[in-house]
């Protein structure tokens, strides 16, 4: 596997940092992985999922959303909608430089974001979510202690995942305005919903709501024993292997998991 560090221009004009993981042979397809809320492209789960997909023949792009990791811009000026738009921007970069993604994979809030992003990327043939909230506004419980301050002052400082960030009222308003069930119903792509019954951050009912809203073909896999962040390497590897096997019929005909 080879990894190239790349940059592309985000929705707000900022430089977004990404890593393109490529198999040792000619890629048999392309995938894009959206990280969990504040996690970054080098979050252990994002990195492991990309590696496993890469070892199965796909070239995989993972990137940092605005104001996170090595990407430019300010997190306080980003919104859920801008994150969705930046997934589309990332796909545009892949299309122009290598090949457009046929598979989108999103973890947590990244999972909620890939659903509305997919219809804006014509080449996407399949979408997989991991521990995704059915309502992106669900993440506000992570900083509910400062919501009054956000409403009063327009923004507030929070610590999320060990990062010091500013959360804006625009970010909160955008989360609350999004129609997640409508996005799932209008996906028009095969959808794989993966969720742990033991998820301590996003309850299993979220997976039920996404699954019920989406149209067939759709599948659900319970990640029994995994936590929300997939801290155990065995869980993130299992996720990638399951995604690759499930996506096989929807990807280019040359893509055959585990067979050279």
* Local confidence band at 259 (pLDDT 50, 70, 90 cut-offs): very low
Full DSSP string of 53-122: HHHTTEEEEEEPPTTSTT--S-GGG--HHHHHHHHHHHHHHHHHHT---SEEEEETHHHHHHHHHGGGST
Q: What is the pTM of this model?
A: 0.92
* CA pair distance 138, 34, nearest whole angstrom: 18
3-state secondary structure of 182: helix
* CA pair distance 260, 255, nearest whole angstrom: 9
* CA pair distance 221, 242, nearest whole angstrom: 9
Q: Characterize the bridge pairing of strands 103-107 and 58-63.
A: unpaired
Using one digit for the tens of pLDDT, what is the confidence trace for 4-23?
999 999 999 999 999 999 99
Using one digit for the tens of pLDDT, what is the confidence trace for 164-185?
778 888 988 898 888 888 999 9
3-state secondary structure of 26: coil
Using one digit for the tens of pLDDT, what is the confidence trace for 198-249?
998 899 999 999 999 999 999 999 999 999 999 999 999 999 999 989 998 9
Q: How far is CA 95 from CA 46, 54, 157, in A?
A: 21, 18, 37
Q: Spell out the long-range contacts of 160-165 with Cβ–Cβ below 8 A and sequence spacing 24 or more.
A: 160/37, 160/38, 161/37, 161/38, 161/39, 163/38, 163/68, 165/38, 165/67, 165/75, 165/76
Largest CA distance in the chain: 59
């Amino acid at each position: 596997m080879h990894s190239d560090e790349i940059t592309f221009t985000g929705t707000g004009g900022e430089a977004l940092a990404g890593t393109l993981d490529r198999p040792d042979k000619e890629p048999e397809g392309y995938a894009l992985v959206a990280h969990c809320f504040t996690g970054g492209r080098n979050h252990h789960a994002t990195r492991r999922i990309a590696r496993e997909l890469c070892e199965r023949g796909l070239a995989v792009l993972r990137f940092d959303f605005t104001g996170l990791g090595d990407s430019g811009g300010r997190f306080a000026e980003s919104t859920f909608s801008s994150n969705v738009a930046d997934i589309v921007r990332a796909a545009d970069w892949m299309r122009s430089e290598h090949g457009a993604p046929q598979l989108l994979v999103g973890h947590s809030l990244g999972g909620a974001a890939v659903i509305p992003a997919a219809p804006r990327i014509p080449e996407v043939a399949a979408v997989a979510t991991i521990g995704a909230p059915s309502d992106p506004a669900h993440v506000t419980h992570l900083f509910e202690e400062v919501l009054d301050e956000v409403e009063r002052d327009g923004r507030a400082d929070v610590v999320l995942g060990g990062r010091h960030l500013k959360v804006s009222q625009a970010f909160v308003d955008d989360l609350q305005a999004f129609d997640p069930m409508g996005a799932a119903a209008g996906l028009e792509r095969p959808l794989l919903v993966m969720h742990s019954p033991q998820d301590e951050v996003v309850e299993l009912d979220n997976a039920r709501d996404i699954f019920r809203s989406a149209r067939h073909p759709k599948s659900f896999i319970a990640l029994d024993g995994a936590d929300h962040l997939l801290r155990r390497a065995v869980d993130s590897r299992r996720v990638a292997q399951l995604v690759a096997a499930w996506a096989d019929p929807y990807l280019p005909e040359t893509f055959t998991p585990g067979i050279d």
